[in-house]
Amino acid sequence: MRNLGEPREGRILCDPIIARLARFLIMLDSEYNPFGEETRMKFGVIIFPGSNCDHDAYWTIQQVAKQPVTFLWHESHDLQNCDAVIVPGGFAFGDYLRTGAIAKFSPVMESVKKFADGGGLVLGICNGFQILCESGLLPGALMRNVGLKYVCKPVQVRVENIDTAFTHGCREREVLTIPIGHMEGNYFCDEATLAELERNKQIVFRYSSPEGEITAAANPNGSLNNIAGICSPGRNVLGMMPHPERASEHELGGTDGFKIFESLVGAMAEK
C-alpha cells in the first residue's frame, strides 16, 4: 500500500502511469538517429478531414526512422521544404462522391503535383493511393472490392521492382507481410495503361502467396493482375494499398513495412 506520508513528488514519480508517460515524453524528445546525422530527411504528412492514419505515419517516421517530420494541412500550399510527402490512409472528406474525389481539389495537392513534377518523393498509402490516382499523379482507379466487403488483415505482397527510392532496400521478388484495411482497393486500368505499366516496370507490388506465387487466392480485393502498388514513370511517386506504417515495429507483429521508410531514408543518404 502506498505511503501517503511520503513527499508529493515521490508519490508522482512512483505512480506507474505517470512513470510510463514520463518515458513516453522522453522518447518523443529523442534525437537519436540510427541512420546517422548525414541522412536527416524531412517528411511531411498531409492531414485531410477524415484522415485517420496520419499520426501512425508520423509516429513511424519520428520514432522508428528517427527523421524530422511535420504535418501538412490540406488547405495550405506550403510543403515546408519537405524532402518527401506522405498522403496517408483514412477517409478523406468522408469518401463522399468517390474515394479521393474531393481531396484532389485541396490546395495542398496543387503543391504536391508541382513537387512531384520536379522529382519530389511522394508516397500514397491506401486512401492516399486513391487520392494520387484521382489527382492524376498515378494512372488507373481503385474500385470497390470484389465481394463488396471491407477487408482488414495482413497480406503478402511480392516486390516487383527494386529500382525505386521506396524499394531499393528490398530484394527483387522478396515477399513482405503488410496489413491492408480498405473497401476500395480493387485496382483497375484499361488494357493500354496496363501494358504501359508492365513495359515500364511501374508495378511495384503484387499480392502473392507467402511463397511468392501470384494467384487468385492471394488477391484480397480483385485487383487487376494482383496489383497492390504502382509508381510513376519517374519512379518518384508510389501508391500502395497495404499500410507499411502498421508493420514497422515488432510490437505490431512485424517490421516488413519499415523497409519502405528505410529505403526512402537510404535514398536520401545516397544523394
Q: Closest Cα partner for 129 from 176, 102, 169, 90? A: 90
DSSP 64: I
User: Sign of the CA dihedral 244, 221, 189, 101?
Assistant: negative
Which of 126, 133, 170, 231 is catalytic? The answer is: 126
Which of 134, 160, 184, 245 is catalytic? The answer is: 245
Q: Decide: 170 and 194 in contact? Cβ < 8 Å.
A: no
Looking only at the bridges linking them, the beta strands covering 84-87 and 43-47 are parallel
**Residue 74 is a catalytic residue:** no
Q: Is 217 exposed, middle or buried (0-12, 13-18, 19+ CB in 10 A)?
A: exposed
**Residue 168 is a catalytic residue:** no
Neighbours of 76 (CB within 10 A): 14
**Residue 126 is a catalytic residue:** yes
Query: Cell 477517409, residue?
Result: 91
Query: Cell 481503385, residue?
Result: 142
Order across the sheet with 84-87: list the strands: 69-73, 43-47, 84-87, 121-125, 237-240, 227-231, 203-208, 151-159, 175-182
**What amino acid positions are annotated as catalytic residues?**
126, 243, 245
